[in-house]
Amino acid sequence: MTPPRRPVPVPDERSAPYWAAAADGLLVIARCSRCRAFSHPPDVTCPHCGHTDPAFVFEPVSGRGIVRTWTVVRQSFLAGFEDDLPFVLVDVELAEQPDLRIVGRLVDGPEVGLRVGDPVVVSFEQVAEGVAVPSFALAGDR
């Protein structure tokens, strides 16, 4: 019996460009067409200017950011992560905008002596055919 695979994202009308770009190894973040502020993920309205028709457009970002906090997951409540335990989740503030946050796995693992403020850069994990999930790696200039 094969172990369960990790859960895969199911793109919807709003998220489809994000997952399509991730599959190509590109991090894109939704940007409000009215106030130009980034949001992750895009809400039904713009959380910055309040516009009810924000016409979000996903734009490529640098993928660079800093670690605001982290945790080491040693027991997962989700199926499919058994072989990955323990793994690190980092709460990353992206360089493009204050408080623009995205939580992802840190591919360097739990033994790196992480500190708040450590710089990271996006990387991608292939979780299924044509499906990639953004993660992060410590940046060389740490």
Binding to other proteins by residue 87, rule CB under 8 A?
yes
Q: How far is CA 64 from the centre of its chain?
A: 11
Rg, Å, the chain Cα set: 16
In the bound state with other proteins, the residue whose beta carbon lies nearer, of 8 and 57, is 8
Binding test (CB under 8 A) with other proteins, winner from 35, 55, 79, 112 = 79
Binding to other proteins by residue 75, rule CB under 8 A?
yes
Residues found in the chain: 142
In the bound state with other proteins, the residue whose beta carbon lies nearer, of 53 and 84, is 84
Binding to other proteins by residue 23, rule CB under 8 A?
no
Binding test (CB under 8 A) with other proteins, winner from 25, 41, 109, 130 = 41
**Strand 101-106 and strand 38-39: pairing?**
unpaired
In the bound state with other proteins, the residue whose beta carbon lies nearer, of 55 and 79, is 79
Tell me whether the omega of the peptide bond preceding residue 41 falls within 30 degrees of 0, making it cis: yes
In the bound state with other proteins, the residue whose beta carbon lies nearer, of 40 and 64, is 40
Binding to other proteins by residue 54, rule CB under 8 A?
no
What are the backbone dihedrals phi and psi of residue 134, each rounded to the nearest 5 degrees, phi first? -60, 135
Closest by alpha carbon to 22, among 37, 7, 33, 8?
Answer: 8
What are the backbone dihedrals phi and psi of residue 48, each rounded to the nearest 5 degrees, phi first? -95, -50
Binding to other proteins by residue 25, rule CB under 8 A?
no
Tokens of 15: 């998220």
Q: Would you tell me which residues interact with other proteins (CB under 8 A)?
A: 4-12, 15, 19, 39-41, 43, 47, 68-81, 84, 87, 89, 91, 99, 101, 103-105, 115-116, 125, 127, 133-135
